[in-house]
Amino acid sequence: MKKNLFWTILAGAALVSCVNDDVLEQHNQNKQELTFGNPVLNSQTKVTGEISGTTYPTDENFIVWGIETDGNYQGWGASNVKSNFFGAKGVVVTNDGYTDSYWHIMYESDKAEKYYWPSEATHKLTFAACSPARVTSHATVTYDATGLKLEGYEMPAEPNDHFDIMYSPRVLNVTESPVTINFSHALSSIVFQTVKPSVEEGGAYSIKITDITLSGAIENKGTFNYAYDSASGSATGTAGWINRSQTDNAIKYDLLNEPFEVPTTSSPIAKVKPFLVIPQTVNSDMKVSITYQIVQQDGDTPVELTRVIPFTDFKLPNTNGNYTNSWDMSNRYKYHIHFGKLKEITFAPTVKDWTSIDAGEVEISTSSAAVQEEQQD
């Protein structure tokens, strides 16, 4: 279920953190501009929800860091490291405002500047990246010898503000364009699909969902840590979330933008907000509440019902085909809500037949003597 995002980064260079004009001019003499192939977002736009597929969206942006070495990268503290090329903060890459198909590095002034490859023939660049760049408003982002860290991240309270956090391994020893960045998802995505029977019993009816709420002990705070392997020249590392916690046990997320009628074919619910959650173990206190109306076509007043379902009632298969009780990184979990057939309540009355009981006989005499005796009395 893991999906990686690939795109091409076309490069050139220039020292990032403020070097003096003489050094900058020395790099500019090479005139091989460092640009990125396709994507980024202007300061007024943002992508909400998950990024699907393998194409990075052109209206999103990301942060890049670079280490300049004389020869191959041998480790953060190796003697051949010449510069933290883009500085400790890294640089933001943008596609906004350009007519070409490349992405350009954005200066702190929000004006894109040209960067160039080092002019020294033996110098190489090693890159790392995270996305989106606006994650710096939600966490303390650092990239150093230990790896990439997003410390103190808290999920936005409004699901419509959720965004797809992604990270990349190191891209080692690049000397020319294009540079390929391979992004992976750091969060879990929760998606709901729903369907009602196409064969209706008891008359035509519709089902309208009016509310979907997630609640319970959901861990909404934590630190993402991508610890790069310490081995010389290693590109990969171990990614995971640490120091996870929850704001409170009664946290709620309202997922419905507006009520909608349940279709007869199973499909994602377009009117449900995106929900990108910190990977964590699913427990019985985490629930989804679904409020819905059954509407008869004859104009009767709708019947509204609410069903509360613990997430532990769902079986979650992992990548090995076994069942798990956790939301894992880079996985999209589809929860299917199926409504059963609406069956009319009907009656079939029967009557139990009487049981006849013979209660005995009484003899009434009709002789003249009996009549005279009755009259005398």
Cis peptide leading into residue 279 (ω within 30°): no
Nearest in space to 187 (alpha carbons), one of 216, 161, 211, 163? 163
Cα of first residue to Cα of last residue in the chain, in angstroms, is 108
Neighbours of 184 (CB within 10 A): 16
Q: What is the pLDDT along the chain (377 residues), one digit of tens a residue?
A: 444 444 433 333 222 333 333 334 434 445 676 655 543 222 233 455 777 777 777 778 899 999 999 999 998 889 999 999 988 999 888 766 666 666 677 765 555 556 788 889 999 999 999 999 999 999 999 999 889 999 999 999 999 999 999 999 888 999 887 777 888 999 999 988 887 766 555 557 788 899 999 999 999 999 999 998 766 677 788 999 999 999 877 789 999 999 988 887 766 677 788 899 999 999 889 999 999 998 876 667 888 999 998 988 887 766 666 677 889 998 888 888 888 776 655 556 556 666 566 666 777 766 666 556 656 66
H or E element, residue 130? strand 123-131
How far, in Å, CA of 185 to CA of 198, rounded? 37
Per residue, the 3-state secondary structure of 147-166, as one string, reads EEEEEEEECCCCHHHCECCE
Tell if the pTM clears 0.85, that is, is over it: no
Helix (H, G, I), strand (E, B) or coil at 133: helix
How far, in Å, CA of 275 to CA of 231, rounded? 37
The DSSP call for residue 117 is -
Query: Is the separation of the CB atoms in 220 and 312 below 8 Å?
Result: no
Specify the pLDDT at position 313: 85
Query: Is the separation of the CB atoms in 14 and 26 below 8 Å?
Result: no
Helix (H, G, I), strand (E, B) or coil at 260: strand
327, β-bridge pairs: 280
Specify the pLDDT at position 164: 94
Polymer length in residues for the chain: 377
Rg over alpha carbons for the chain, rounded to the nearest Å, is 35
> How many H helices and E strands in the chain?
2, 29
How far, in Å, CA of 253 to CA of 212, rounded? 9
CA-CA distances (angstroms) from residue 338 to 193, 231, 256, 306, 373? 8, 50, 17, 14, 88
pLDDT digits 0-9 by tens, 110-157: 555 567 888 899 999 999 999 999 999 999 999 998 899 999 999 999
